[in-house]
């Protein structure tokens, strides 16, 4: 039995892939690919994302044993005995990036199968950091400035692929496949993923998904979300982005932002100068990583010349500011109701 572990990385169309996997469960099963139910995120029932497998190690508070971790996965797979098992969670990639849990992940993967294919999709870091920041703001986990976030990300090597994955370059029983994100843009991401993992499925029978699943906030939406995040922290001293109400609210808030037209433009926090500096700092590690996995220097283009596209809350015109306040007041009231509901439940 072969185990394919799609480990992200974050912000590389993982949400799309996980929804597409769900939509194509039967077709994949016809071709011997089994999508385990253990460890799946219960909050996204129409998606195949095995976040609990990662949270078992990185976030014990969020891990729900009832949903199942690695033990349950092993048991489930043993009961089915499929040709190929496919799991998907960007959280597994984060185990390596941010939590230094590479040893745990390797051990668990090998305990499921001795034929493991790890698929990692990599994206040049300027877009990756920009996108991660936008996601962090949307989920209230970051309320600071982009510049500070970007500096921290680079200083702490959050997106240094070589530092994170160098120990995976040569592991017996594990094939480490790295796919540039640009390939996901040229074709359907699920098709690209399956091709990278050597899974043969008739492409014309795959169901694709229309529309954006994970709304990105535009410049105004980013400021509104930052204000909401800071407002909630200031108003509720015990606010936690991990609490039930906050996790529900971020989806509601993103919907409101989309309705307000705040998701039409694309946020871009880098100034060309800052981007140039970051790209220079990232180059040695990127070259080392690319040499190891592709046997060539890093050639994913860094969009250093993209002009900054961001707003400053205080500089918004009066009417837009009013909309932002309305949004904050409405979302704050919603948050309080969600909290009450969470407490009742």
Partner 1 sequence: MTCLVVHAGARATGWSAVQRRLVAARTDLAAVGVQMEPDDVVAAWHRSARAMQTTGDDPEPTLKRLMNETNAAGRDTLLLSSPLFLSALSSSSWTDRLARVAGKLGFDRIVVVVVVREQIGALNQIYCERVLALETAAPFSAFVGQARIRDSVDYSALLGPALATAGLEVVAVPWSQLDNDGGAQAVLDAAGIDVSLTVPPDVDSAESQIPGQERLPGPVHVAASRLLVKRLTARGGHADLDPRTLAAAVARVRRRAEQRDWDGDATYWGWTPALAEAAAERYAASNDAFARAVWGSAWTEPVPTMPFRDLQLLDAEPKAIADIVDILGRVSAQVERVPRRGGGARPAVPWTGLTPPGGRRQSPGPRRRPPQVGAE
* Contact set with partner 1 (CB under 8 A): 143, 145, 223, 226-227, 230-235, 256, 259-261, 264, 312-323, 325-329, 332-333, 336
- E strand residue ranges, the chain: 2-6, 33-34, 84-88, 115-122, 174-180
Asked if 54 and 228 count as a contact pair (C-beta separation under 8 A), the reply is: no
Given the complex with partner 1, which of 198 and 212 has the nearer CB atom?
212
Asked if 36 and 50 count as a contact pair (C-beta separation under 8 A), the reply is: yes
Cβ-proximal residues to 86 (8 Å cutoff; 6+ apart), any chain? 3, 4, 6, 21, 28, 33, 34, 35, 197, 199
- Alpha-carbon distance of 125 to 278, in angstroms, equals 9
Given the complex with partner 1, which of 62 and 230 has the nearer CB atom?
230
Shortest distance (Å) from residue 140 CB to partner 1: 11
Shortest distance (Å) from residue 123 CB to partner 1: 27
Shortest distance (Å) from residue 323 CB to partner 1: 5
- Alpha-carbon distance of 31 to 46, in angstroms, equals 21
Given the complex with partner 1, which of 210 and 314 has the nearer CB atom?
314
Shortest distance (Å) from residue 337 CB to partner 1: 10
Shortest distance (Å) from residue 204 CB to partner 1: 37
Given the complex with partner 1, which of 143 and 278 has the nearer CB atom?
143
Given the complex with partner 1, which of 100 and 326 has the nearer CB atom?
326
Shortest distance (Å) from residue 98 CB to partner 1: 24
Query: Which string of b and e fits 307-345 if b means at least 16 CB within 10 Å?
Result: eeebbeeeebeeebbebbeebbeebbebbeebbeeeeee
Shortest distance (Å) from residue 261 CB to partner 1: 4
Helix, strand, or coil here: 6? Answer: strand
Given the complex with partner 1, which of 166 and 332 has the nearer CB atom?
332
Whether a cis peptide bond, with omega within 30° of 0, leads into 115 is no
Nearest Cα residue to 143 out of 224, 219, 264, 244: 224
CA dihedral over 217, 222, 228, 234, signed as positive or negative: positive
Shortest distance (Å) from residue 256 CB to partner 1: 7
Nearest Cα residue to 20 out of 35, 10, 9: 35
Given the complex with partner 1, which of 64 and 241 has the nearer CB atom?
241
- Both tokens of residue 324? 């932002």
Given the complex with partner 1, which of 255 and 301 has the nearer CB atom?
255
């Amino acid at each position: 039995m072969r185990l394919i572990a799609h480990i992200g990385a974050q912000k590389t169309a993982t949400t799309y892939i996980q929804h597409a996997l769900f939509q194509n469960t039967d077709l994949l099963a016809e071709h011997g690919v089994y999508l385990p139910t253990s460890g799946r995120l219960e909050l996204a029932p129409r998606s195949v994302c095995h976040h609990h497998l990662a949270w078992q190690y990185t976030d014990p508070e969020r891990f729900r044993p009832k949903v199942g971790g690695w033990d349950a996965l092993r048991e489930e797979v043993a009961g089915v005995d499929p040709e190929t098992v496919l799991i998907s969670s960007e959280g597994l990639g984060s185990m390596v990036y941010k939590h230094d849990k590479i040893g745990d992940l390797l051990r668990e993967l090998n305990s499921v199968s001795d034929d493991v294919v790890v698929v990692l999709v990599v994206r040049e870091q300027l877009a990756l950091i920009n996108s991660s920041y936008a996601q962090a703001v949307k989920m209230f986990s970051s309320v600071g400035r982009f510049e500070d976030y970007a500096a921290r990300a680079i200083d702490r090597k959050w997106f240094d692929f070589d530092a994170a994955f160098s120990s995976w370059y040569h592991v017996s029983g594990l094939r480490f496949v790295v796919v540039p994100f640009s390939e996901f843009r040229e074709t359907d991401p699920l098709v690209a993923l399956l091709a990278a993992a050597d899974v043969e499925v008739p492409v014309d029978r795959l169901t694709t998904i229309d529309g954006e699943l994970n709304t990105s906030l535009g410049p105004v939406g980013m400021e509104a979300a930052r204000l909401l995040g800071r407002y909630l922290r200031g108003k509720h001293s015990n606010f936690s982005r991990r609490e039930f109400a906050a996790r529900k609210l971020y989806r509601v808030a993103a919907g409101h932002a989309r309705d307000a037209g705040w998701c039409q433009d694309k946020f871009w926090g880098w100034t060309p100068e800052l981007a140039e500096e970051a790209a220079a700092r990232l180059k040695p590690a990127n070259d080392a990583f690319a040499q190891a996995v592709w046997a060539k220097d890093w050639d994913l283009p860094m969009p250093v010349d993209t002009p900054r596209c961001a707003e400053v809350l205080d500089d918004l015109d009066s009417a837009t500011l009013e909309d932002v306040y309305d949004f904050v007041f409405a979302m704050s009231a919603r948050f309080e109701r969600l909290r009450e509901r969470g407490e009742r439940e």
